[in-house]
Amino acid sequence: MDDCIFCKIIKGEIPSTKVYENQYIYAFKDIQPCAPVHVLVVPKKHIESAQKLTDEDTALLGEIFKGINEVARITGVDKSGFRVVTNIGRDAGQSVLHLHFHVLGGRVFGADFG
Ligand code: DGP
């Protein structure tokens, strides 16, 4: 998608701090971190949100979660624990319409999803 910020980040047209990359995903530090570890895991395929996943994306979803676990290992939160969040649509506060998973760690989170 030509006008998608995350597509531009994946292509290197907008700079980012890469944490991990493979053929399926690109993972980079969030520009507005909410925790000591705050990484966005993004599929290279443009999909608007988790709501737009189809049967064709079943294997991709597995690859995304393998990538999330790799990011947790690389950032050192795999033992202490981490939170994975994906926002869908207006009320959830999704601001970038390209599927992404926030990987948050390095502090203790409450049960309040606020
Ligand atoms: P969401 O609210 O779930 O759509 O989260 C989008 C996140 O993307 C938000 O935490 C800020 C981050 N973000 C937006 N633009 C950029 C950017 O240009 N670079 C980086 N690294 N992060 C960005």
Show pLDDT as tens, one digit a residue, over the chain (114 residues). 789 999 999 999 999 999 999 999 999 999 999 999 999 999 999 999 999 999 999 999 999 999 999 999 999 999 999 999 999 999 999 999 999 999 999 999 999 887
Contact by Cβ (8 Å): 107, 35:
yes
Q: Is the CB of 15 under 6 A from ligand 1?
A: no
Residue 8 Cα to chain centre, angstroms: 15
Cα of 28 vs centre of ligand 1, distance in Å, is 10
Q: How many angstroms separate the Cα of 41 from the Cα of each of 7, 110, 111, 112?
A: 12, 22, 23, 23
Q: Is 100 a catalytic residue?
A: yes
> Global pTM?
0.98
The predicted structure's pLDDT at residue 10: 98
Cα of 55 vs centre of ligand 1, distance in Å, is 27
The predicted structure's pLDDT at residue 113: 81
Q: Is the CB of 5 under 6 A from ligand 1?
A: yes
Q: Is the CB of 85 under 6 A from ligand 1?
A: no
Written as six digits, the tokens of 109 are 């989170």
